[in-house]
Chains A and B, each alone.
Chain A
Amino acid sequence: MPPHRIGRSTARGSIAIDAVFDNLDIFAEGFRRTVGLSLFAAIAALILGTALAAMRVSPVPPLRWFGTAYVEIVRNTPLTVVFFFVVFVLPQVDIRFSYFTFAVVALSIYHGALVCEAVRSGINGVDLGQAEAARALGLTFTQTLRMIVLPQAFRNVLQPLGSVISALIRNTSIAAAFGVQELTGVVQRLTTANPDSVIAVLLGGVVAYLILTLALAGALALTERRVASAR
């Protein structure tokens, strides 16, 4: 597709890094949008996922059914298809937002299911003996949950939750295909505009994503060490 090698580049060497530095402000704009998408979608997905997890362990059968159905359906649907539903089907019933909001909605719907599974596995990962011992000591249901189970579940849940958020950050790139000029969208646009420095632009995008995902991994490792030392 890209009509490569159009004059300029051969004169200045094969990789024209200028295309990145000349457009640093466009990159920064895309970076900000990626961060914004990730932040809003992460918050919404955490809330939705926790609510779903609560439904899935609740003693009320219809809530359990709903939680299970939601997770099974959404987990087996590609995120792109979720995007299609949000971006193309919602306007059919006169629900219209900006593409950015649509992207946040699609990302939240999809990752909510993943958050639910992470949280649920965390709660189930707490040894039953812990709860039994707490009950034997005479703690009530709320005390058991608050003082014994949830703190340990939080520790268990940190790592899987971190990888869900990391996946979310990477998946924001799909919004590029639906009219949001975030990092991947910027990369796509700049590669078309600068056919002779495609590689440089792509590498710029790679570095930007690495900054995000590595920062998250670092923050997670730090939190984990802190939580571990509290044991």
Chain B
Amino acid sequence: MSGTPIVLADPPGPRGRRRILISSILALVVLAGLVTLALLRLADKGQLDGELWSVFVDQPDLRTLLWNGLLDTLRAALTAMVFAAALGIALALARTSRQWAVRIPATAVVELFRSLPVLMLILFAYLGLPALGWQLSAFWALVLGLTAYNGAVISEIFRAGIASIDRGQTEAASALGLRPLQIFRLIQFPQAVRRMSPTLISQLVTLLKDTSLGFVIAYSELLRSGRGAVEFLGSRYALPIYTAIAAIYIVTNGLLSALARWLDRRQSRRLGGRHAELPMDAAAATAALPEPSGPDSART
């Protein structure tokens, strides 16, 4: 990651070091200048006034509103995560089935859901299903749309994980007399999850971010709550309130990513020695993921 590009050139000598120092100072000056310019502009338009930013202290209702919005966001995200994981497992299993009558529809479903905007899937659940006679709340429409898209993506992640497992594992398992479903449950799935946990978690971060689409269908998640507050207090409050919302998302997602890193570290410690590089292999396999050509072509 870091420090690799050194091979591209000799380590910098005294002149190179001086040049790097000068560029650093120059870059710092330019960046600081840009920040100052932006701040001046904001101050000029009264965007940095104290009473704008103390709104979080002055208005306890605002804090409650955002807190409830965050809870609604987390509720939708967690529900969709559980459903998407279940759908992902089912689709991955179906796609690796030996029966074409199972495999082909599953492939079609995965490719379809993956090729559509999440917002279209949410709208389909919100507008289309009621037209077919199935009324459902904004919450469930959001969860359903997110489940459809993320289930398809997660199934691909599982599939890539399974493909990256040494084939001898499955062969040994079937030599021991395990049935395909047992092989999946006991041999392939646990290893795939372990290898794919970094990719899986980053997909969960994506899911969490996408819950903000709920504001389109009037689900009262964090962003929608913030928008309501800005409409109530006046558009002058757009900057402080949206900044707070962005910060909340960044912290929440950062916690999820930290969890991913922690899992990753714990796992490489546990596997230790020879297997320590396994997650890297899995990461390479996922590099081929998002495209339909499949993970099999990733490493040969």
Number of chain A residues whose Cβ lies closer than 8 Å to a Cβ of chain B: 68
Known interface pairs A62-B27, A93-B41, A206-B120; A78-B210 also in contact (CB < 8 Å)? yes
Q: Judging by beta carbons under 8 Å apart, are B45 and A92 in contact?
A: yes
Spot the interface stretch: A21-29, A42-50, A101-109, A210-218: A210-218
List of B residues within 8 angstroms of A163 by Cβ: 289-291
Nearest chain A CB to B186's CB is how many angstroms away? 32
Q: Judging by beta carbons under 8 Å apart, are B230 and A88 in contact?
A: yes
Q: Judging by beta carbons under 8 Å apart, are B288 and A159 in contact?
A: yes
B205 on the A face (CB < 8 A) = yes
Nearest chain B CB to A161's CB is how many angstroms away? 10
Known interface pairs A144-B8, A199-B131, A206-B120; A217-B291 also in contact (CB < 8 Å)? yes
Classify the secondary structure of A's interface with B: helix
How many of chain B's residues touch chain A, expressed as a range? 35 or more
B292 on the A face (CB < 8 A) = yes
List of B residues within 8 angstroms of A62 by Cβ: 24, 27-28, 31
Digitize A45-88: 1 where CB-to-B-CB distance is under 8 Å, 0 elsewhere. 00000000000010111110010000001001111110011001
- Tell me the bound Cα distance from A81 to B212 in angstroms: 8
- Tell me the bound Cα distance from A166 to B229 in angstroms: 34
- Total cross-chain contacts (CB, 8 A): 176
Nearest chain A CB to B285's CB is how many angstroms away? 12
Q: Judging by beta carbons under 8 Å apart, are B238 and A92 in contact?
A: yes
- Tell me the bound Cα distance from A76 to B209 in angstroms: 8
Digitize B16-42: 1 where CB-to-A-CB distance is under 8 Å, 0 elsewhere. 000010011001100100000000011
B282 on the A face (CB < 8 A) = no
Spot the interface stretch: B56-64, B91-99, B242-250: B242-250
Q: Judging by beta carbons under 8 Å apart, are B12 and A59 in contact?
A: yes
Nearest chain B CB to A145's CB is how many angstroms away? 6
Classify the secondary structure of B's interface with A: helix
Ordered nearest first, which 5 A-B pairs have the shortest CB separation? Answer: A163-B290, A173-B117, A78-B209, A76-B253, A198-B131
Q: Which residues of B contact A (CB under 8 A)?
A: 1, 4-5, 7-9, 12, 20, 23-24, 27-28, 31, 41-42, 44-45, 47, 112, 115-120, 123-124, 126-128, 130-132, 205, 209-213, 215-216, 223, 226-227, 230, 235-236, 238-239, 242, 245-246, 249-250, 253-254, 257, 284, 287-293
Subset of 20 A-B contacts with CB under 8 Å: A1-B127, A4-B130, A57-B5, A76-B209, A84-B226, A84-B227, A88-B242, A91-B235, A92-B45, A92-B238, A93-B42, A145-B8, A159-B288, A162-B291, A173-B117, A174-B117, A198-B127, A198-B128, A206-B116, A210-B116
